[in-house]
């Protein structure tokens, strides 16, 4: 009984937090949702960057909240906003801001899915032996799996958010894996996005970034494969 009351209280608190988050976002600029949606449909990253930049001193806060919210929702692709951040604040500050915001968004999504859907997922999993084995494995290997998935650029955030929350993976493992894994993925997405939009400024760098990224990913996956072999022996 006490457990049920605490779960209801947690769900109520989460709903209020979401209402305040979106409510605050709306009060900051009532037309923001419509404007962002309109610009996203147009697919103009430069226009999105210009709109965020129009908030002046509050642009960094607006960009952070917007990126976190969109990453929590899992749509549209986060690279749109990470690219916009680099165009507004510069490459390094933009990547760092987007990385922090995406990690916060991933954490919010985890809490939401875990609070409202984990019980239903457990009922579904309990009736299937394979799913139960996978669920138990996620507690032990969840960090490594999530880390590898987060490192891969352009991997759908919504799928990873749901996977982490609906499995037995701990919030600590999920958030830490997301925090570490999102940095290279965000950096690569932002750099490629930035240099694609501004290719006339530095046409050679885009090819260099892609080449270095492929090389580093090959090294990473070879290292992970060797580590798994050692741990299994």
User: Is pLDDT at 7 greater than 60 in this prediction?
Assistant: no
Question: With bands split at pLDDT 50, 70 and 90, how would you rate the model's confidence at 148?
Answer: confident
Residue 134: per-residue pLDDT = 64
Residue 75: per-residue pLDDT = 73
Counted domains in the chain: 1
Residue 211: per-residue pLDDT = 74
User: Is pLDDT at 6 greater than 60 in this prediction?
Assistant: no
Q: Which two tokens stand for residue 224?
A: 């992970």
C-alpha 131: how far from chain center: 25
- Asked whether 150 and 181 are in contact (CB, 8 A), the reply is yes
User: Is pLDDT at 53 greater than 80 in this prediction?
Assistant: yes
- Asked whether 176 and 143 are in contact (CB, 8 A), the reply is yes
The residue range of the domain holding 111 is: 2-232
User: Is pLDDT at 33 greater than 90 in this prediction?
Assistant: no
- Which candidate, 203, 204, 193, 210, places its Cα nearest to that of 45? 193
Q: pTM here? A: 0.76
């Amino acid at each position: 009984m006490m457990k049920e009351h605490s779960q209801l209280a947690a769900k109520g608190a989460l709903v209020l937090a979401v209402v305040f988050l979106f409510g605050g976002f709306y009060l900051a600029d009532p037309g923001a949702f419509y404007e962002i949606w309109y610009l996203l449909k147009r697919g103009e990253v430069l226009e999105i960057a210009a709109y965020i930049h129009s908030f002046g001193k509050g642009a960094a806060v607006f960009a952070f909240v917007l990126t976190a919210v969109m990453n929590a929702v899992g749509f549209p692709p986060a690279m749109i906003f990470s690219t916009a951040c680099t165009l507004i604040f510069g490459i390094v500050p933009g990547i760092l801001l987007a990385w922090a915001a995406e990690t916060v968004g991933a954490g919010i999504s985890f809490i939401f899915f875990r609070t409202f859907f984990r019980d239903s997922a457990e009922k579904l999993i309990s009736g299937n032996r394979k799913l139960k084995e996978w669920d138990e494995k996620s507690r032990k290997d969840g960090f490594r799996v999530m880390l590898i998935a987060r490192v891969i650029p352009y991997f759908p955030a919504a799928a990873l958010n749901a996977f982490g929350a609906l499995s037995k993976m701990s919030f600590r493992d999920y958030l830490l894996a997301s925090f570490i894994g999102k940095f290279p993925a965000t950096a690569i997405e932002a750099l490629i996005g930035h240099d694609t939009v501004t290719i006339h400024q530095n046409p050679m760098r885009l090819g260099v970034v892609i080449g270095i990224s492929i090389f580093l990913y090959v090294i990473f996956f070879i290292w992970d494969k060797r580590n798994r072999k050692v741990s299994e022996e």
